[in-house]
């Protein structure tokens, strides 16, 4: 079901206002007269968060936050980290090459680069530990206490790359007092089975353990007509976590955390769409001469003819020691973490039976971090200060096994002696920072907040671009039998190093005229350090400094918002409006299969409204509205001519006329979401009926904003029925996702005949979101 953009926003806003009016009317009729009556609502419960490095109600923090408790996550049926953005206005999940990578966009701040030495401007944290690798962030969601989604710059209190905001996953911790746990099993479409469970054991009154595990297994939903018995995008992943809590005294607590994740799935899932003209538009039914005249006209977006079966083999591990020491003067927290990600990925990029282009990525990353933090408070002052250090070593590569492309452009492979390209690169990052934030309570109603972080970062980058001869049996960019033929360009390898000094800051006023209302105004300076690109198919100019490196991004964010709980706790309205002014905006661009981050300029303005209500016992209503208006300009090589050698002559002309403004990736102007849930007595237990959905307006997957990289917008709806036993020890849930079976695109690559991308392929790759699926779930708590 699709809506026109303007009508959707108008009707949604009117509906939200009408709902608020209706709740007020109910209040005046005496519907809430019985104060002692039990009120059933899982979405109006207070959620305690740690967005300011101390425990607070989400409604008491002057930051635009969507917080989801563990019970809410279960009610929504979320089992993967990527799902948590669905009911957060202005927040989007980005999948730059399918389910293999995962990042988040907030308020138009997004970077869906699948080159993994580039970190996202929206940070992902798990138990206060930063996850730098997008390929390690799409983890199974299990045994989670809550999720906090923070919109706007958070660089003062969080150690790394939170220019646009962050998502913080907080897991359930060991319990020193009681034995507890749960088990949950699901079965559904494509013979998929999910299991997750946890057990917490209080070994003594000072020592406790908690073990958690999850696995997801099953068939794929993309048919390879050349190998119909081996469907793509299958499920084959497992994760686990072991935590040990030691509390030798009331003042000292030591928590150890060890975790792992494994995935091995069949990839190569793109739908082929002919696009042979130089207009970046589809040419349905027109054969592609470079691919042997291939054309896909069956109309099935979940079937293709793939000569190569791809894979994503991923291994992650991590170890964290968190020590908390409480004293009368304050508390000291130490968080020490080591994590590693290894990945081997390859796909059939031409999405055809021709052996033309097979793109691969490899990752071998190790990260060590240390945070020391002091918290304290007096009568009118709360303060936090600390130190953060991170050392990140990335040894990655990208490339392609491309015999068809070589032959089409250069001639027979046998004569040339190469059939592929291989780009190994090493990026080492070492950074440290010091930070502090003060909150001074001027009066019962007025509080002032000020924060500052100083950041030093050193980064080095080595990049090679090599021609390769891969054996016919090669199925990985890591094939040890592949032979190096020669450098692909005469001016590689590339070596670079940079040292950046940056600062971020916060200034805020909180005004609480009543216990139910918080009004805040803030200025935040967000920063993201400079970095390096690792192009796949570099032109002679691509290894010039202007295209290989980019400078730090600086953002001045101004925000005005309020949080209000009314009608005796039956209605909650949170809203925020913002204006972002960027300097050296790090714009993400895809031209063909090449990704790059380049400095540009940008301005951003918008607002969000969240409404939660419990008009009668058992009935939950949630609505979210987000408007984002972002304009990006002065992108080198796109809207700006480039002089690579400084001789005053344009070497790389812009694709569009100077002064052209474009929209950033994955940024719809309107993003709407909603949920209706009604829970009532049924027999000896309780029954919950639930429907939720999200609408995303038109958006783009590249900065070119051309037709091939455009998604017109869509609505995705879900529904579920859950039965809870009288003691809530067990529950049975049946659900349908994408109930209207909407076909929608989550990523495209414009490989059309357009000169803007080299015109090498004559096709558009489209990756579609999952079709309608169903499932049943049984959960038991003990």
- Residue 757's pLDDT is 56
User: How much is the pLDDT for 39?
Assistant: 38
The model carries a pTM of 0.92
pLDDT at 462: 96
CB atoms within 10 A of CB 710: 19
CA 591 from chain center: how many Å?
22
Distance separating alpha carbons of residues 640 and 546, to the nearest angstrom: 12
pLDDT bin (cut points 50, 70, 90) of residue 438 is very high
pLDDT at 83: 86
How does pLDDT run across 13-68, given as a tens digit for each residue?
A: 344 444 443 433 333 333 333 333 443 688 888 899 999 999 999 999 999 999 99
* CA pair distance 586, 657, nearest whole angstrom: 20
What is the rounded CA–CA span in Å between residue 114 and residue 542? 18
pLDDT over 90 (residue 187) = yes
pLDDT at 622 over 70: yes
How many Å apart are CA 625 and CA 15, to the nearest integer? 11
Give me the pLDDT at residue 15, please. 42
Give me the chain's average pLDDT, please: 89
CATH label of the domain that carries residue 156: 2.40.170.20
Distance, CA of 34 to CA of 44 (rounded, Å): 18
Structural domains of the chain, count: 1
Identify the domain containing residue 532 by its residue range: 5-781
Check pLDDT > 90 for residue 340: yes
Rounded Cα–Cα distance for residues 362 and 342 (Å): 8
Report the greatest alpha carbon distance in the chain.
87
3-state DSSP of 490-523: CCCCEEEEEEEEEEEEEEEEEEEEECCEEEEEEE
Dihedral sign computed on CA atoms, order 369, 374, 375, 380:
negative
Tell me, what's the pLDDT at 674? Answer: 96
Take residue 438 and report the two structure tokens written for it: 């003060």
> What percentage of the chain reaches a pLDDT higher than 70?
91
* Mean pLDDT for the stretch of residues 671-699: 95
Nearest to 603 by CA among 583, 576, 575: 583
For the chain, first and last CA: distance in Å? Answer: 41
* 75 contacts 690 by C-beta, under 8 angstroms: yes
Q: What does the angle CA 687 – CA 692 – CA 696 come to, to the nearest 5 degrees?
A: 175
pLDDT tier for residue 754 given thresholds of 50, 70 and 90: low
Give the CA distances from residue 135 to residues 103, 371, 396, 528, 623, in Å, rounded to whole numbers and listed in that order: 9, 24, 12, 20, 31
Q: What is the pLDDT of residue 266?
A: 92
Structure tokens at 536: 């796949």
Q: What is the reported pLDDT for 511?
A: 98
Q: What is the pLDDT of residue 592?
A: 62
The runs of H, that is alpha helices, within 508-593 are: 545-548
Residue 347 near residue 268, CB atoms below 8 Å: yes
Cis preceding-peptide flag for 641 (omega within 30 of 0): no
CA distance 48 to 56: 5
pLDDT tens digits for range 243-262? 999 999 999 999 999 999 99
Buried b / exposed e over 648-671, threshold 16 CB at 10 Å, is: eeebbebbbeeebbbbbbbbbbbb
Pairing mode, strands 699-700 and 685-696: unpaired
């Amino acid at each position: 079901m699709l809506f026109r953009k303007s009508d959707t926003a108008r009707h949604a806003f009117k509906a939200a206002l009408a709902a608020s009016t209706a709740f007020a009317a109910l209040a005046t009729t005496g519907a809430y007269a019985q104060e002692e009556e039990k009120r059933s609502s899982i979405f109006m419960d207070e959620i305690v968060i740690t967005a300011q490095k101390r425990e607070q109600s989400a409604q008491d923090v002057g930051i635009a936050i969507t917080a989801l408790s563990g019970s809410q996550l279960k009610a929504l049926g979320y089992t993967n980290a990527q799902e948590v953005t669905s009911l957060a206005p202005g927040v989007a999940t980005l999948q730059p090459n399918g389910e293999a990578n995962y990042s988040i966009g907030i308020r138009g701040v997004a970077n869906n680069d699948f080159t993994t030495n580039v970190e996202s401007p929206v940070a992902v944290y798990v138990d206060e530990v930063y996850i730098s690798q997008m390929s390690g962030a799409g983890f199974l969601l299990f045994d989670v206490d809550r999720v906090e989604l923070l919109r706007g710059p958070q660089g003062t209190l969080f150690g790394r790359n939170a220019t646009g905001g962050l998502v913080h996953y907080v897991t359930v911790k060991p319990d020193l007092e009681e034995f507890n746990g749960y088990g949950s099993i699901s079965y559904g479409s494509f013979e998929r089975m999910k299991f997750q469970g946890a057990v917490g054991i209080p070994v003594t009154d000072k020592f406790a353990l908690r073990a958690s595990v999850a696995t997801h297994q099953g068939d794929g939903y993309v048919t390879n007509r050349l190998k119909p018995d081996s469907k793509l995008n299958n499920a084959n992943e497992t994760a686990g976590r072991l935590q040990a809590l030691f509390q030798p005294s009331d003042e000292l607590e030591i928590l150890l955390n060890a975790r792992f994740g494994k995935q091995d799935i069949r990839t190569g899932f793109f739908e082929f769409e002919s696009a042979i003209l130089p207009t970046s538009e589809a040419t349905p039914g027109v054969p592609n001469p470079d691919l042997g005249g291939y054309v896909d006209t069956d109309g099935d977006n979940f079937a293709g003819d793939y000569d190569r079966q791809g894979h994503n083999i991923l291994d992650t591990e991590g170890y964290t020691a968190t020590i908390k020491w409480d004293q009368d003067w304050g508390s000291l927290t130490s968080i020490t973490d080591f994590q590693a990600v290894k990945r081997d990925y390859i796909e059939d990029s031409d999405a055809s039976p021709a052996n033309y282009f097979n793109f691969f990525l490899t990752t071998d990353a190790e990260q060590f971090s240390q945070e020391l933090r002091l918290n304290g408070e007096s009568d009118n002052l709360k303060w936090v200060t600390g130190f953060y250090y991170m050392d990140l070593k990335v040894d990655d590569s990208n490339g392609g096994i491309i015999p068809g492309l070589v032959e089409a452009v250069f001639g027979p492979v046998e004569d040339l002696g190469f059939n592929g390209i291989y780009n190994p690169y090493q990026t080492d990052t070492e950074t440290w920072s010091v930070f502090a934030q003060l909150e001074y309570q001027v009066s019962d109603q007025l509080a002032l907040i000020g924060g500052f972080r100083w950041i030093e970062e050193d980064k080095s980058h080595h990049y090679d671009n090599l021609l390769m001869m891969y054996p016919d049996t090669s199925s990985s960019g890591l094939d040890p039998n592949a032979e190096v033929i020669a450098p692909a360009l005469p001016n590689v390898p590339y070596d670079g190093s940079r040292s950046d000094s940056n600062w971020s800051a916060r200034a805020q006023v909180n005004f609480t005229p009543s216990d139910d209302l918080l009004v805040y105004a803030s200025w935040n300076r967000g920063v993201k350090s400079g970095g390096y690109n690792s192009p796949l198919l570099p032109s002679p100019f691509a290894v010039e400094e202007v295209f290989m490196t980019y400078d730090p991004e600086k953002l001045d964010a101004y925000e005005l918002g309020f949080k209000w709980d009314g009608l005796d706790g039956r209605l909650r309205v949170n809203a925020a409006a913002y204006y972002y002014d960027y300097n050296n905006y790090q714009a993400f661009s895809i031209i063909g299969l090449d990704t790059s981050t380049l400095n540009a300029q940008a301005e951003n303005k918008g607002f969000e409204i969240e409404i939660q209500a419990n008009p009668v016992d058992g009935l939950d209503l949630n609505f979210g509205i987000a408007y984002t208006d972002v304009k990006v300009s002065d992108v080198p090589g796109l809207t700006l001519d480039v002089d690579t050698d400084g001789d005053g002559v344009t070497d790389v002309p812009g694709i569009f006329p100077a002064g052209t403004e474009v929209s950033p990736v994955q940024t719809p102007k309107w993003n709407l979401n909603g949920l209706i849930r009604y829970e009532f007595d049924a027999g000896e237990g309780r029954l919950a009926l639930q429907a939720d959905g999200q609408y995303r307006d038109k958006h783009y997957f590249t900065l070119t904003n051309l037709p091939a990289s455009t998604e017109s917008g869509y609505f995705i709806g879900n529904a579920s029925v859950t039965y809870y036993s009288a003691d809530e020890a067990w529950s049975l849930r049946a659900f349908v996702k994408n109930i209207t079976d909407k076909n929608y695109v989550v990523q495209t690559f414009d490989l059309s005949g357009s000169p803007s991308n080299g015109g090498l392929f004559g096709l558009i790759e489209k990756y579609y979101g999952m079709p309608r699926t169903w499932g049943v779930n049984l959960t038991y708590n003990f």
